Structure 1
Amino acid sequence: MGKSKLWDRQQLLVAFDLYFRLRFGQFDHRNSTVIYFANLIGRTPSALAMKLSNLASLDPVITSSGRSGLTGASTADRTMWLEMKTDWLAFSEQMNAVVSTLGEPLQDVMPDVREEPLVSYHGMTKEVITKVRIGQSYFRTAVLSAYNNRCCISGLAVPKLLIASHIVPWSEDPQNRLNPTNGLALSALHDKAFDLGLLTIDESYRVVVSGKINHKNDHFFDSSIKSFHGKSIFLPDKSSPQADFLAMHRETIFEKRF
């Protein structure tokens, strides 16, 4: 397929999928994942790397940090970016549907991809469970890649101990279940504390630990959770946590439960 031909929708869906799965610094024609998927969609690695950088120019997190990506985003790129923001769930299902038909499972191409189990699959059909699992894999990879595979509170960088934590719980906002801006990369401990409302993130992206917890003489709690009170989280390269999602967590989970 010649470079001069317009990108079709399937190729763009693959590019969008990789945009969220890869870190900003991995948008390179020498990256093995870029090479692999470029070959599958009939584009050169350079063309796919360029497309990823064009998509970066549409990402407000990238542009607000002084990085601009490239300036060649097409009308189709912009239209699909808006489509994605309007309905994350439908768009992610389309990305997954295309990527799943291309070749090897993502687990074989990108080893960090793995499933994070939901609390329960009760009442779901096998087809729905499959979609949920694929969606969880996408969400995890998109969130962790944005935070460079580090806990945004502690800096822990062991992928097996990291969780792509939903800010607004999975069950409470179906439309934003797979929206990476509804996620934080957290250690398993801080994910649980966040989920229970033991801590939250304020308007200035600082950690707030509940003062209503009875933790006298608990040195582990003091060192692993309380010590982060007032400290800024590490903000991601892309897909920065959405302010209204954090506000909802503060209002309905953190303050309400304690």
Structure 2
Amino acid sequence: MKRGRLWTREELLPVINLYCKTPFGRIHQRNPDIIKLAAKLDRSPGSVSYKMANLAALDESLDRAGARNASQLDRDVWSEFFGNIEKHITEIEAPNIDLESTKVGEDRVQETKVRVNQDFFRKTILASYENRCCITGVSHSSLLRASHILPWSKSKKHRLNPRNGLCLNALHDCAFDCGFLTLDPDLIVRVSPKVSKRPTTGDSEMLLRYNGKRIVLPKKFLPDEEFLSWHRINVFKS
């Protein structure tokens, strides 16, 4: 194993990818995913985990210093990655899924890329919120959704942007998409008045129970206020 060598762009891209999909509390050298990536890069797990900790300082959405040792190359590659996530996810993940072997026509390749993109977004959002609904705290993975603030169909540029996501349980995800709840600039849950005007049911009670409560903040990638403003204006049933 080579030690002490400088990091390269080609090494940093998969490290950023793994950073996105790893809960903050699992960024350590005993994490099997970090050990696996370290072996691929011919680096020590400690080196990879330390680099991931450095990257935390580059998430400007949160007031957290990370390890404070991010290099200029770290910053440049971070900006490159988030400037075109879809391109780089394909570049990073293709060797793992062997896109070439799935070429039974362009439709099949496109379906595979979409699946890879959706998998990245879900893993990143759930990792950011430590696999818990940010409103209710529900933690059963099959009940959790990586919810888009700007809908997938309306914003190709931000489809994979982690700051365009919320971790919600299935009920609150549907309510958010339908405009029955939103978040104000202070990340307080606001339930549509249309819910309280309906006869009380189990689902409406579950929504109203959290009205006025602040979400549990993510450890990474705070939701973008511009995206939330768009949701309040264009989706929320005020």
TM-score, normalised relative to structure 2: 0.91
Aligned to 2:139: 157
Contact 1:88 1:175 in 2 (8 A): no
Number of residue pairs matched by the alignment: 231
- The answer to whether residue 84 in structure 2 is matched with residue 87 in structure 1 is yes
TM-score, normalised relative to structure 1: 0.84
Aligned to 2:162: 180
Relative to structure 1, is the Cα distance of residues 145 and 73 closer, same or farther in structure 2, using a 3 angstrom cutoff? same
- Give the Cα–Cα distance (whole angstroms) in 2 for the partners of residues 146 and 95 of structure 1: 20
- The answer to whether residue 1 in structure 2 is matched with residue 4 in structure 1 is no
Q: Per-residue displacement from partner, 1:180-220 (whole Å, max 9, x unpaired)?
A: 11000000010000011111111110111110236543231
Instruction: Tell me the CA shift for residue 86 of structure 1.
Output: 2.5
SS at match of 2:199: coil
- Give the Cα–Cα distance (whole angstroms) in 2 for the partners of residues 85 and 247 of structure 1: 21
Contact 1:92 1:178 in 2 (8 A): no
Alignment of 1:223-238 (within 5 A): 223-238=205-220
Aligned to 1:138: 120
Moved more, 237-246 or 78-87: 78-87
Contact 1:13 1:98 in 2 (8 A): no
Q: Work out the percentage of aligned pairs sharing the same amino acid.
A: 39
SS at match of 1:60: coil
- Give the Cα–Cα distance (whole angstroms) in 2 for the partners of residues 100 and 41 of structure 1: 18
- The answer to whether residue 7 in structure 2 is matched with residue 25 in structure 1 is no
**Contiguous gaps of at least 5 residues in structure 1:** 102-123
- Give the Cα–Cα distance (whole angstroms) in 1 for the partners of residues 96 and 8 of structure 2: 14
Q: Per-residue displacement from partner, 1:22-81 (whole Å, max 9, x unpaired)?
A: 01111101112211211122110010011101111211244x1xx422122122111011
Contact 1:165 1:191 in 2 (8 A): yes
SS at match of 1:57: helix
Query: What is the identity, as a one-letter code, of the residue corresponding to 1:73?
Result: A
Instruction: Tell me the CA shift for residue 11 of structure 1.
Output: 1.6
Aligned to 2:47: 47
Contact 1:202 1:208 in 2 (8 A): yes
SS at match of 1:141: helix
Contact 1:89 1:175 in 2 (8 A): no
SS at match of 2:89: helix
Contact 1:147 1:236 in 2 (8 A): yes
Instruction: Tell me the CA shift for residue 125 of structure 1.
Output: 1.4
Q: CA RMSD in A?
A: 1.8
Query: What is the identity, as a one-letter code, of the residue corresponding to 1:86?
Result: G
Query: What is the identity, as a one-letter code, of the residue corresponding to 1:147?
Result: Y
SS at match of 2:175: helix
Identify which of 89, 96, 106 aligns with 2:93. 96
Instruction: Tell me the CA shift for residue 91 of structure 1.
Output: 3.1
Aligned to 1:68: 65
- Give the Cα–Cα distance (whole angstroms) in 1 for the partners of residues 95 and 156 of structure 2: 22
